[in-house]
A and B are shown apart, each in its own frame.
Chain A
């Protein structure tokens, strides 16, 4: 059963992929990465799970959240766009500096928020297609 190896790989790889996605999302503005790539990584992680544990498992786990997630992503992106209305206009970049003590300063801006929206839309979009396509074509379930 090849799925045995996959299940083992899934145990090891899936958490790593999720962490990697978060890292990509956070560092994305300055290093390689970003919301789009992080979304693809999350989709890959779910793909791993689909292959290892079957599409039903993943569908039961996250199926109902996919479309709401897409909607939430879009709303977050729009929110980030509207956020800057008083500062200069639609989708204008606004940045805040939050001192974290010591020399560390957290810079967070509306583009960051926008990136999170992109991330949610992309990850849910690709995952939903993977789930739909991996659904058995006939009425029978595996």
Chain B
């Protein structure tokens, strides 16, 4: 069933694209069908999975290779699945109205559902490598969604940054996952988690493994110092920001940490890394959010902050912390997602997201105001919202630490959490008061010129209402929805007893204090903004990142110039001599010469001698002739001789291929040389001629040696016999073709994929008017970004 649902989600996107959804007014409801089905199915599993049953499923997609996709649905996977599918349903409806008649809607849906599939696969996967593949899938689709508006330069840069940062982290993580698989002896997550934690923690490779995995999780979940990509990702269409960059994808890192928590949580490194990075991210995000005026930027930094909270909570190996993580994930998805959607509707209705230009929207769009109030109060953590419950548990975690005698950590965490709580309150109130309730805006006020239709606001309202209802349905939900995932995070069964009202506990008092401080901050918000405004420019992560990337380009340019900068003969010499060197090294290392058994008894036949003489003659002509055309033709001559040799040794397929390739390359060469202006060739100095001769002779000897090696006794066991024995079983008479399309079809598949990529790359390369030196990269980029190719322009003008 899990596989079927994944397939359903994956197929929905392309199917919608074909239906051209921008032509239909209410296409969103159709799009929402498949995620709604998934949500319904997951809800139906809630009692069973909540009761401790883990649904396992294996989809063997290549039994011959022993490859299978293992999916596991336990409490944590179910919780994330519900968030992904549930919010996805709302987003699908919303996007239909957000894009209105924009032709991009079909493309957006295709990406959205592919993302949903990847994300769902990520949280369901039981295999580390499958998890990695889905993980990369989400990164790539995030890149495509951020750069959705191709004409927007900021969007392209933000997308590139996001892809490089998360891609780099994911590469590190792949290393970490492989190490983890090696240490545990299996790549199955459930089997790994079944082993005692000491297996991993006491292993000598534990530290590098953990650092690599954390790198992946921290980059994905926008933790300090990698947080800068997330605000840059806000150039994506708002539904994508709400879904990927707030509710789901950025929580993939949190998911991975939560998943591995039972195995690693006892280690010191785990605790300090998560505690410090999470804590810094939490405070940094919350403070930076107050500096911004763009609705989406504020929400982006608030998201960074909340992700910091979740990461910090995962540092603790504690029951309350585990429950707090689970509540935090769900509460955040249910208030931050809708708030992004509200920002999108405001943008849609007024044409701006700058809160200095917004005022009184609650009166203009009352339904939207209601949704915003419910979501903001939850973000602020005011009683009796879902956010309040989550914050209460966060504070409770630190109080239980204090009670357990961890004074320093408990106090530091408590202070940080309380401060962050106050900041949360401050920007929640700003977000609510300034655009929705104040009478007039300080800037040039934007008016609602395009009021949203009711079904546009409906999905937003539905999500916020769901968040508002949950605190009053705790009794029904706490066991199935909260206890099972918390148990998965902790690695042991958890008893959850939640209530909105605990009495006057220290946590509640701290919460009240934080709210009071937050209200004070809100009232003095102009002063706070003024105080935060002069932050140093260089402290900007995106700027530092760009500088690092420029440095990388500089290094690449330097190394290219150093190794291959000079003339063509030098480049060719370097390449060929490197090949010779590597072969010599391996020959001496393995003592091939000594093991080689050569049979010199065969005599050369007459036609072989003739062919060899022809080839030598042609080669001589290539070197001596002054005409390019005759050089190229002589080169073709050598090729034809080789073809004939294949024919004599009865390899018709090889001969045919060689001949065709020879013809095509010959003409290609003529075409290429046709483009290069004619040059006078001066005779080379003796010294250089001699050097070239020496290199040529070395390479010739190398080729001869290779031929000898190939002709000698095989050094490795041959599989030709297998091929000739089985060729009839494979319904074919031509062994070459059967190898290509049956025995080694996977190789061929790879090759034709590479061909298509090479064709696209070559096409783009040859379309560029001319290659520009690296220093002028920026100019090229602007030319590309404006969407007009310079080559086209000049041609049109001519």
Q: Nearest chain B CB to A29's CB is how many angstroms away?
A: 4
Q: CA A88 – CA B663 in complex, angstroms?
A: 41
- B297 in the interface, Cβ–Cβ < 8 Å? no
Asked if A30 and B732 make an inter-chain contact with CB atoms under 8 angstroms apart, the answer reads yes
Which of chain B's residues have a CB closer than 8 A to the CB of A31? 733-734
Chain B 434-448 interface mask (CB, 8 Å, partner A; 1/0): 000000000000000
Q: CA A127 – CA B671 in complex, angstroms?
A: 13
Q: CA A71 – CA B759 in complex, angstroms?
A: 11
With A34-B653, A47-B664, A130-B664 as contacts: A139 and B795 at CB distance below 8 Å = yes
Interface residues of A in 37-86 (CB under 8 A from B): 37, 40-41, 43-44, 47, 51, 67, 70-71, 73-74, 77-78, 81, 85
Chain A residue with the shortest CB-CB distance to B666: A47
Could you say which of B302-310, B510-518, B548-556, B735-743 contacts chain A? B735-743
Interface residues of B in 470-513 (CB under 8 A from A): none
Q: CA A115 – CA B742 in complex, angstroms?
A: 9
With A115-B737, A137-B675 as contacts: A37 and B752 at CB distance below 8 Å = no
- B364 in the interface, Cβ–Cβ < 8 Å? no
Number of interface residues of B (CB under 8 A): 50
Asked if A29 and B731 make an inter-chain contact with CB atoms under 8 angstroms apart, the answer reads yes
Could you say which of B59-67, B175-183, B634-642, B684-692 contacts chain A? B59-67
Chain B residue with the shortest CB-CB distance to A90: B62
Chain A residue with the shortest CB-CB distance to B749: A77
Asked if B760 and A122 make an inter-chain contact with CB atoms under 8 angstroms apart, the answer reads no
Q: CA A31 – CA B742 in complex, angstroms?
A: 15
With A36-B657, A74-B753, A92-B64 as contacts: A125 and B740 at CB distance below 8 Å = no
Asked if A118 and B671 make an inter-chain contact with CB atoms under 8 angstroms apart, the answer reads no
Q: Nearest chain A CB to B768's CB is how many angstroms away?
A: 12
Chain A residue with the shortest CB-CB distance to B668: A133
Which of chain A's residues have a CB closer than 8 A to the CB of B653? 32-34, 37
Asked if A37 and B657 make an inter-chain contact with CB atoms under 8 angstroms apart, the answer reads yes
Q: CA A78 – CA B756 in complex, angstroms?
A: 13
Which of chain B's residues have a CB closer than 8 A to the CB of A112? 741
Chain A residue with the shortest CB-CB distance to B657: A37
Q: Nearest chain A CB to B654's CB is how many angstroms away?
A: 9
With A37-B660, A132-B762 as contacts: A93 and B67 at CB distance below 8 Å = no
Asked if A74 and B668 make an inter-chain contact with CB atoms under 8 angstroms apart, the answer reads no
Tell me which of A33, A51, A67, A91 has the highest count of chain B C-beta atoms within 10 A of its own C-beta: A91
Asked if B752 and A74 make an inter-chain contact with CB atoms under 8 angstroms apart, the answer reads yes
- B661 in the interface, Cβ–Cβ < 8 Å? yes
Which residue in B64, B741, B746, B759 is a CB contact (below 8 Å) of A128?
Answer: B759
Chain A residue with the shortest CB-CB distance to B743: A93
Asked if A70 and B759 make an inter-chain contact with CB atoms under 8 angstroms apart, the answer reads yes
Q: CA A39 – CA B653 in complex, angstroms?
A: 14
- B656 in the interface, Cβ–Cβ < 8 Å? yes
Asked if A90 and B65 make an inter-chain contact with CB atoms under 8 angstroms apart, the answer reads yes
With A74-B756, A107-B731, A139-B795 as contacts: A40 and B664 at CB distance below 8 Å = yes
Q: CA A133 – CA B670 in complex, angstroms?
A: 10
With A89-B62, A132-B763, A139-B795 as contacts: A81 and B749 at CB distance below 8 Å = yes
- B730 in the interface, Cβ–Cβ < 8 Å? yes
Which of chain A's residues have a CB closer than 8 A to the CB of B67? 89-90
Chain B 396-410 interface mask (CB, 8 Å, partner A; 1/0): 000000000000000
Which residue in A114, A129, A140 is a CB contact (below 8 Å) of B762?
Answer: A129
Describe A's contact surface by its main secondary structure.
helix
Tell me which of A29, A128, A129 has the highest count of chain B C-beta atoms within 10 A of its own C-beta: A29
Q: Nearest chain B CB to A98's CB is how many angstroms away?
A: 13
Asked if A71 and B741 make an inter-chain contact with CB atoms under 8 angstroms apart, the answer reads no
- B18 in the interface, Cβ–Cβ < 8 Å? no
Q: CA A73 – CA B752 in complex, angstroms?
A: 9
With A40-B664, A117-B752, A133-B668 as contacts: A90 and B61 at CB distance below 8 Å = yes
- A109 in the interface, Cβ–Cβ < 8 Å? yes
- B667 in the interface, Cβ–Cβ < 8 Å? yes
Which residue in B660, B732, B745 is a CB contact (below 8 Å) of A29?
Answer: B732
- B617 in the interface, Cβ–Cβ < 8 Å? no
Interface residues of B in 766-785 (CB under 8 A from A): 766-767
Tell me which of B663, B671, B738, B766 has the highest count of chain A C-beta atoms within 10 A of its own C-beta: B671
Which residue in A118, A130, A134 is a CB contact (below 8 Å) of B741?
Answer: A118
- B672 in the interface, Cβ–Cβ < 8 Å? yes
Asked if B741 and A115 make an inter-chain contact with CB atoms under 8 angstroms apart, the answer reads yes
Asked if A125 and B756 make an inter-chain contact with CB atoms under 8 angstroms apart, the answer reads yes
Chain B residue with the shortest CB-CB distance to A70: B756
Which of chain A's residues have a CB closer than 8 A to the CB of B656? 32-33, 37
Asked if A41 and B660 make an inter-chain contact with CB atoms under 8 angstroms apart, the answer reads yes
Q: Nearest chain B CB to A37's CB is how many angstroms away?
A: 5
Q: CA A107 – CA B475 in complex, angstroms?
A: 65
- A22 in the interface, Cβ–Cβ < 8 Å? no
- B705 in the interface, Cβ–Cβ < 8 Å? no
Q: CA A123 – CA B671 in complex, angstroms?
A: 19
Which of chain B's residues have a CB closer than 8 A to the CB of A35? 737, 740-741
Chain B 354-384 interface mask (CB, 8 Å, partner A; 1/0): 0000000000000000000000000000000
Chain A 101-142 interface mask (CB, 8 Å, partner B; 1/0): 000000101011011011001101110111011110101100
Tell me which of B652, B661, B755 has the highest count of chain A C-beta atoms within 10 A of its own C-beta: B755
- B571 in the interface, Cβ–Cβ < 8 Å? no
Chain B residue with the shortest CB-CB distance to A28: B737
Asked if B652 and A93 make an inter-chain contact with CB atoms under 8 angstroms apart, the answer reads no
Chain A residue with the shortest CB-CB distance to B760: A67
Asked if B752 and A118 make an inter-chain contact with CB atoms under 8 angstroms apart, the answer reads yes
20 extra A-B contacts, CB within 8 A, seeds A31-B733, A33-B653: A29-B731, A29-B732, A29-B741, A30-B734, A44-B660, A44-B663, A51-B667, A74-B753, A77-B752, A90-B62, A111-B730, A114-B742, A115-B740, A121-B752, A122-B755, A124-B759, A125-B756, A128-B759, A129-B668, A135-B766
- A-B pairs with lowest CB-CB distance, top 7: A30-B733, A89-B62, A90-B62, A139-B798, A40-B660, A34-B737, A32-B652
Sample of 24 A–B contacts (CB below 8 Å): A34-B734, A34-B740, A35-B737, A35-B741, A37-B653, A37-B657, A47-B664, A67-B759, A71-B756, A90-B64, A90-B65, A92-B62, A93-B731, A93-B742, A111-B731, A114-B742, A114-B745, A115-B737, A115-B740, A121-B752, A121-B755, A128-B762, A139-B794, A139-B795
